[in-house]
Structures are given as structure tokens and as C-alpha cells.
């Protein structure tokens, strides 16, 4: 019998009133410190020498400190702030205080390390470090919902101290309880208010994403990741994420429209062509990942060579694009090139899937991995020497011309409503149309009878077959649909990158998209969900694009991230209710501790039955 009751006790024994006052005062001082200079020289990125105007990492501390202050004030029962903390738990304040501490101390340590000592700190930097520490200590005095501590042998304590794993011990012995994923009970809002909340949420999400993609140096982006990570954890503990998720589930059509509007507004916020190009590539990567989610997430087919279908669509579009280096020497209209790329990927999906989908598990994974390598070696050999002159071998097909749709040349800048849209922004908007099509196909497929049959095959193919489902035909349909969606994205990718080469379509490489990163995006985001692969693909593309020093360690770092994900959140960042129930204990079958012994035995028998 396991008890799931969580004791609301402070880590530091302080009266709740005093702890709340310390936390509030520390958060207020943190906000004030951001308006003071943190260093005397502008050599540190962001120019933290200006009084009265936060800049660079100070902005992250300002936002984190303001949120901490807001949630600390919510603990006083101020009317109107309770909606931000549905669970009425102080865990959200604790995580915000911890995130503010981590972000600020990262900035202070970076200044000290890059400029050569603490003498380079101005009084504002010292005040920020002290204020965030005071805020964190005050948050430790708040009554926190904690899970029962797990006892460790004495030698484990000693070993942990020796190797510096005190954070691990903190997690084992002071584990904070979080929201259980169920939407918190709240007073129902009018429909217009719920729609307004959804719109504001996507507006805030667009602003956060735009700020992250516009960061100009690595220190600011790392601080951004730290602040956003702890902020998301805090909002999850508060139950606010669950509340907004419940609203988006209730208004699905409104949510899709709001998401598309927010995505459409992104290029109008960009003045840098490089950042707009990152956005276009994220959409390509995310769209292909969503197509793979049909194969892996819905049908449960482990495909390790999926990037080859992206390559088939890209090469097909490049061959008919009118490129002077194309051996075919024809130029199709774009709509015909799109159909050509999608049809070619569809044919390859059926040809590869028909003889291989009778395999299961690891055997299917090995065959699809082999197909991906065969595709890359084949297009590399079609150079006129080792085989027919069709793909120019390792040189690929360069000089792919820009598209012109309805008299609108996507290769040049255009002024729209006072905004200047460059080449990357034009292709971003084009790719957004393709993403909307793929999202529509995925959603309609997943909610249809075929989608439910895919899920049944994923869960237990033998049982699904026994219930009359033609497993082979439906798996082939999923394989073909996923290949077609990848081919659609490939037609746009060929024009965005100007060239297609065999090295772009490997199982694992330094530059996404490739099969390993696509599969990681699906798993990281959440298999079988609509928004999960989009979130996972955005993270996996954006982080390496902004942190160039990670190029040589990408596979190691992403492998480590997946290990941590499997340990702490195996259902992915965005998970449906089924996955949460599958991977986490819910306590639904637990017997209350005050139940008589005879009733406990009966309850245990019923649970076992």
C-alpha cells in the first residue's frame, strides 16, 4: 500500500508569514537591481553599464523577478491573482525563485569569468546576486508540497558529496510534488473570455519565441533557456499550464487558428534575414517530424530512414525546377513540382513498405535504416560514372532558382503593410501553408477510424488483428502517408537551400534534419500528439543554431537529453492523458489508510482482478 499524500512543509523552518515577506522583499529588490549597472565596461555582451535601463541578461532577471514577486503576492490572497495559481501551491514560487537565482548568478559568474574577476562588478551586480539568494532562501521557508523522502544508505551520501551530486540528493530527499496533469477546478469563464485567454497565451508564446530567436550572443541565449525552463516548471506546478491546456482542448478550432495567426505574425517581427531563415528551417524540420509522427507516434512503426523520403521529394523538385545543373533540363510550375515530389515519395514509401512492413520491432528498424543509407549511396552514385547521370553525384543539384507564385517572386524583398519581407520570410510563409496542410492531415487522420486503428496496432498488433483490423494494409497506409508528407516538405527545402546534396540526408549528421534528429524530435515532443513534434523540432533545431560551440557535441548532448527525458518525463514534453497514465503512478487503486484490514484485502483482490 502506497500513500500519495504530500506534506506541505518548509525546507527551512520559518513562520509562513516571515518566509512570504522575505520572498516578496527579495523579489522586489531583484527587480530594482536590474535598473542599476552590473558592470563598468561594455565589453561584456549586452552593455550592462546603463543605470535605469535594463539590457541583455538583466531583462531575463527582471522578468523572472517580476514573476516571482507576482506569485509571492498571490500567496497573500490578493483578489485576481488566484487565477495564475490554481493549485494554491507555493511550489511555483519556489521554482520561480530558483530560476531567478540561476539566471542571475549565471550572469554574474559570466561577467566575472569573461572580464577577469569580481572587481568588474558594479553595486547593481552585487545587489542582484544578494537579492536573488535572499528570495530563494525565503522560498525555502514557504510550505512546499513535497513527496515522501526516500532513504539512502550512509555510503550513498558520502559518495554523492565526493562526486558533487548534491543536486541529485536534493531531488531525492526534497522532491517537490507537482500538478498531476488533471485540469484544476476553477470557476467557469464565459466563452469569449476563454478565447481571449487562448489568444493572449499564443501572443505571449510568440513574444517569448521571438525573443529567444533574436538573441545575438550565446550568453544571452543560455540565460534565456535557463529562465524559460524554470518558468515553465513553475507554471506547471502552479497548474496554469494544465488550465490553459484544458481551454485549448475545449476550443480546438480556435486554438489552431490562434496558432496559425501567431506563426503568421513571426516574419513581420524580424529584421534580420538570418533569424527569419532559422524560422523557415524550423518549420521544415517540424513539418517532417510531424509526418514521422504518423509512422512512429500513431502506427508505432520505428522508421530510422525517414529522412530519405525528404530527400526523394527534394531531389524530385530539384530535377524539375529548371536548374541549369539538372540533367533533365525541364522546369515545372511549382504546383506541379510539389505534386511530383509528393508522388515520388509516395511511390518510394509503397515500394519500400510493401515488402518490409511484415517485419516488426528491431527488424523493421534495421530495414528502414538500410533504406536510408541505400538512398544516400544511390544518389551519390548516379553521377554519370558509377551509374546514369541523374543526380550529379556528390555535387548534387545546385543553382535551384527561386520560386515565383502568382507574380510574387519569393527570392526578392517585398514591402507589405509597412513591413519588409525578405527572401527567408517569403519562404517561411510558404512553408507555413504546407505546415497547416500537414497539421490538418495529421489531425483528421488521427481522429478518424483509421487513426484509431493505427493506435490499436501500436498498442497490440496481435489483438488488433484478432479484432478484424487489416494490420498490414493500415501500416502500409501510414508508411505511405508519412512519406508523402515528408516529400511535400522536401520540395520547399530544395528551393530554400538552393541546392540538394547526398550529405543532407544522413541518419545522423551535424546539421538537421536527419533521421536521428527527427526521431528525437518526436520522442522529445511527445509521440502521437499534434503539437509535441512541433515543439521538439523547434528546440532541437533552434538550440544548435544559436549555440555554435555545440556543433561538435550535438549527438552526445541530445543523447544525454533523451536519457534525462526518459528518466523524468518519458511521455515527452507534450503528452496526452493516455501517456501520462501509462508512465506515471496515479494512485487510483490505492486503499485509503483508514480502511479496515478486511476491506483492504477485498480492495486488493479487486485491484488484482
In this prediction, residue 512 carries a pLDDT of 67
Q: What does the pLDDT average to over 202-229?
A: 89
Q: DSSP for 111-163?
A: HHHHHTSGGGB-HHHHHHHHHHHHHHHHHHTS-EEEPPP----HHHHHHHHHH
| pLDDT band per the 50, 70, 90 thresholds, residue 584 | low
Flag the least confident range among 203-207, 271-275, 505-509, 598-602.
598-602
- Of 127, 158, 124, nearest in space to 54 by CA: 124
Instruction: Tally Cβ neighbours within 10 Å of residue 98.
Output: 20
In this prediction, residue 510 carries a pLDDT of 61
Q: What does the pLDDT average to over 189-208?
A: 89
| Dihedral angle, C-alpha 322, 325, 326, 330, nearest 10 ° | 30
| pLDDT band per the 50, 70, 90 thresholds, residue 499 | confident
Three cell numbers, residue 479: 508508411
| Dihedral angle, C-alpha 136, 137, 141, 144, nearest 10 ° | 30
Q: What does the pLDDT average to over 293-303?
A: 87
Q: Residue 500: helix, strand or coil by DSSP?
A: strand
Q: Which residues are bridge partners to 144 per DSSP?
A: 9
Flag the least confident range among 145-159, 236-250, 291-305, 578-592.
145-159
Contact 175, 147 (CB under 8 A): yes
Q: Residue 180: helix, strand or coil by DSSP?
A: coil
pLDDT digits (tens, 9 = 90+) for 513-568: 778 888 888 888 888 788 888 888 888 888 888 877 766 777 777 778 778 777 77
Distance CA 119, CA 112 (A): 8
Would you say residue 27 has pLDDT above 90? Answer: yes
Would you say residue 162 has pLDDT above 50? Answer: no
Asked whether the CA dihedral 229, 231, 237, 243 is positive or negative, the reply is: negative
Would you say residue 147 has pLDDT above 70? Answer: no
In this prediction, residue 130 carries a pLDDT of 94
Three cell numbers, residue 274: 538570418
- Of 399, 402, 394, nearest in space to 323 by CA: 399
Contact 484, 345 (CB under 8 A): yes
Distance CA 191, CA 82 (A): 20
- Of 32, 31, 51, nearest in space to 96 by CA: 31
User: H or E element: which one contains 408?
Assistant: strand 408-409
Would you say residue 166 has pLDDT above 50? Answer: no
Distance CA 474, CA 554 (A): 35
Phi, psi of 72 (to 5 degrees): -65, -40
Contact 237, 96 (CB under 8 A): no
Three cell numbers, residue 556: 552526445
- What is the tally of helices (H) and strands (E) in the chain? 23, 6
Q: What does the pLDDT average to over 100-128?
A: 91
Q: Which residues are bridge partners to 419 per DSSP?
A: 416
Q: DSSP for 16-42?
A: HHHHHHHHHHHHHHHHHHTTS-SBS-T
In this prediction, residue 204 carries a pLDDT of 92
Would you say residue 252 has pLDDT above 50? Answer: yes
Distance CA 463, CA 469 (A): 9
| pLDDT band per the 50, 70, 90 thresholds, residue 594 | low
Q: How far is CA 436 from CA 248, 340, 440, 443, in A?
A: 17, 20, 6, 10
Q: Rg of the Cα trace of the chain?
A: 27
Contact 23, 135 (CB under 8 A): yes
Contact 453, 463 (CB under 8 A): no
Contact 325, 398 (CB under 8 A): yes
Q: How far is CA 32 from CA 88, 226, 414, in A?
A: 27, 21, 43
In this prediction, residue 119 carries a pLDDT of 87
pLDDT digits (tens, 9 = 90+) for 362-392: 888 888 888 888 888 888 888 777 777 788 8
Q: What does the pLDDT average to over 99-108?
A: 93
Distance CA 145, CA 341 (A): 54
Three cell numbers, residue 280: 523557415
Distance CA 609, CA 607 (A): 5
Percent of the chain at pLDDT exceeding 70: 84
Q: What is the pTM of this model?
A: 0.81
Distance CA 181, CA 329 (A): 56
Q: What does the pLDDT average to over 44-71?
A: 90
Contact 9, 146 (CB under 8 A): yes
Residue with cell 530495414: 367
Distance CA 411, CA 419 (A): 16
In this prediction, residue 186 carries a pLDDT of 54
In this prediction, residue 179 carries a pLDDT of 54
| pLDDT band per the 50, 70, 90 thresholds, residue 175 | low
Helices (H), 320-448: 334-356, 361-381, 423-447
Instruction: Tally Cβ neighbours within 10 Å of residue 577.
Output: 11
Mean pLDDT of the chain: 81
In this prediction, residue 1 carries a pLDDT of 38
Ranked by mean pLDDT, the top range of 82-96, 126-140, 529-543 is 126-140
Distance CA 584, CA 580 (A): 6
Which is higher by pLDDT, 265 or 596? 265
Largest Cα–Cα distance of the chain, in whole Å? 84
pLDDT digits (tens, 9 = 90+) for 311-331: 899 999 988 888 888 888 788
Three cell numbers, residue 31: 527587480
Phi, psi of 408 (to 5 degrees): -105, 110
Three cell numbers, residue 253: 478550432
Distance CA 174, CA 298 (A): 37
Contact 99, 229 (CB under 8 A): yes
Q: What does the pLDDT average to over 340-357?
A: 89
Residue 329 burial class via C-beta count within 10 angstroms: exposed 0-12, middle 13-18, buried 19 and up: exposed
Flag the least confident range among 46-55, 198-207, 226-235, 592-601.
592-601
DSSP state at residue 177: P
Could you give the angle at which helices 16-33 and 57-74 cross, rounded to 10 degrees? 150
Flag the least confident range among 151-155, 299-303, 511-515.
151-155
Would you say residue 169 has pLDDT above 50? Answer: no
Amino acid at each position: 500500500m502506497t500513500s500519495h499524500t504530500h506534506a506541505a512543509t518548509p525546507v527551512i523552518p520559518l513562520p509562513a508569514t516571515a518566509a512570504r515577506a522575505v520572498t516578496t522583499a527579495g523579489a522586489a529588490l531583484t527587480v530594482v537591481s536590474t535598473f542599476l549597472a552590473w558592470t563598468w565596461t561594455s565589453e561584456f555582451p549586452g552593455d550592462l553599464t546603463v543605470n535605469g535601463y535594463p539590457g541583455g541578461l538583466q531583462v531575463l532577471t527582471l522578468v523572472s523577478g517580476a514573476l516571482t514577486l507576482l506569485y509571492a503576492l498571490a500567496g497573500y490572497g490578493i483578489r485576481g491573482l488566484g487565477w495564475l495559481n490554481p493549485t494554491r501551491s507555493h511550489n511555483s514560487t519556489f521554482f520561480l525563485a530558483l530560476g531567478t537565482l540561476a539566471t542571475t548568478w549565471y550572469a554574474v559568474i559570466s561577467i566575472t569569468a569573461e572580464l577577469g574577476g569580481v572587481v568588474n562588478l558594479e553595486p547593481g551586480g552585487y545587489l542582484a546576486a544578494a537579492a536573488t539568494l535572499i528570495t530563494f532562501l525565503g522560498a525555502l521557508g514557504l510550505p512546499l508540497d513535497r513527496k515522501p523522502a526516500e532513504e539512502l544508505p550512509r555510503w550513498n551520501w558520502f559518495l554523492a558529496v565526493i562526486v558533487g551530486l548534491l543536486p541529485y540528493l536534493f531531488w531525492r530527499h526534497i522532491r517537490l510534488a507537482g500538478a498531476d496533469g488533471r485540469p484544476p477546478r476553477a470557476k467557469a469563464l464565459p466563452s469569449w473570455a476563454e478565447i481571449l485567454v487562448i489568444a493572449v497565451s499564443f501572443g505571449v508564446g510568440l513574444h517569448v519565441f521571438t525573443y529567444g530567436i533574436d538573441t545575438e550572443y550565446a550568453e544571452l541565449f543560455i540565460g534565456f533557456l535557463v529562465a524559460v525552463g524554470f518558468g515553465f516548471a513553475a507554471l506547471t506546478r502552479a497548474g496554469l499550464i494544465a488550465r490553459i491546456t484544458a481551454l485549448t482542448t475545449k476550443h480546438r478550432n480556435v486554438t489552431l487558428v490562434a496558432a496559425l495567426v501567431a506563426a503568421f505574425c513571426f516574419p513581420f517581427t524580424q529584421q534580420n534575414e538570418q533569424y527569419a531563415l532559422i524560422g523557415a528551417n524550423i518549420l521544415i524540420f517540424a513539418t517532417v517530424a510531424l509526418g514521422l509522427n504518423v509512422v512512429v507516434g500513431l502506427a508505432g512503426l520505428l522508421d530510422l530512414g525517414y529522412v530519405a523520403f525528404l530527400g526523394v521529394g527534394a531531389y524530385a523538385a530539384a530535377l524539375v525546377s529548371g536548374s541549369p545543373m539538372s540533367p533533365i533540363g525541364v522546369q515545372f510550375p511549382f504546383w506541379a513540382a510539389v505534386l511530383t515530389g509528393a508522388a515520388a515519395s509516395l511511390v518510394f514509401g509503397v515500394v519500400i513498405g510493401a515488402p518490409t512492413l511484415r517485419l516488426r520491432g528491431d527488424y523493421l528498424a534495421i530495414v528502414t535504416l538500410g533504406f536510408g543509407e541505400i538512398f544516400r549511396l544511390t544518389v551519390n552514385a548516379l553521377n554519370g560514372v558509377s551509374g546514369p547521370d541523374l543526380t550529379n553525384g556528390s555535387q548534387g543539384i545546385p543553382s535551384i532558382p527561386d520560386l515565383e507564385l502568382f507574380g510574387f517572386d519569393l527570392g526578392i524583398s517585398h514591402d507589405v503593410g509597412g513591413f519588409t519581407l525578405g527572401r527567408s520570410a517569403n519562404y517561411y510563409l510558404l512553408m507555413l501553408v504546407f505546415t497547416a496542410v500537414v497539421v490538418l492531415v495529421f489531425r483528421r487522420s488521427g481522429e478518424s477510424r483509421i487513426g484509431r486503428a493505427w493506435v490499436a496496432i501500436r498498442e497490440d498488433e496481435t489483438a488488433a488483428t484478432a479484432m478484424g483490423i487489416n494490420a498490414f494494409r493500415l501500416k502500409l497506409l501510414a508508411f505511405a502517408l508519412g512519406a508523402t508528407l515528408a516529400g511535400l516538405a522536401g520540395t520547399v527545402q530544395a528551393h530554400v537551400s538552393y541546392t540538394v546534396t547526398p550529405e543532407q540526408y544522413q541518419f545522423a549528421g551535424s546539421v538537421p534534419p536527419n533521421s536521428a534528429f527527427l526521431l528525437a524530435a518526436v520522442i522529445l515532443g511527445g509521440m502521437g500528439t499534434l503539437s509535441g513534434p512541433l515543439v521538439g523540432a523547434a528546440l532541437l533545431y533552434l538550440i544548435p543554431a544559436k549555440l555554435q560551440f555545440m556543433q561538435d557535441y550535438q549527438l552526445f548532448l541530445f543523447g544525454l537529453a533523451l536519457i534525462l527525458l526518459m528518466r523524468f518525463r518519458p511521455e515527452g514534453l507534450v503528452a496526452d492523458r493516455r501517456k501520462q497514465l501509462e508512465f506515471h503512478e496515479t494512485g487510483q487503486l490505492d486503499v485509503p489508510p483508514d480502511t479496515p484490514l478486511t476491506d483492504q484485502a477485498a480492495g486488493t483482490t479487486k485491484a488484482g482482478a
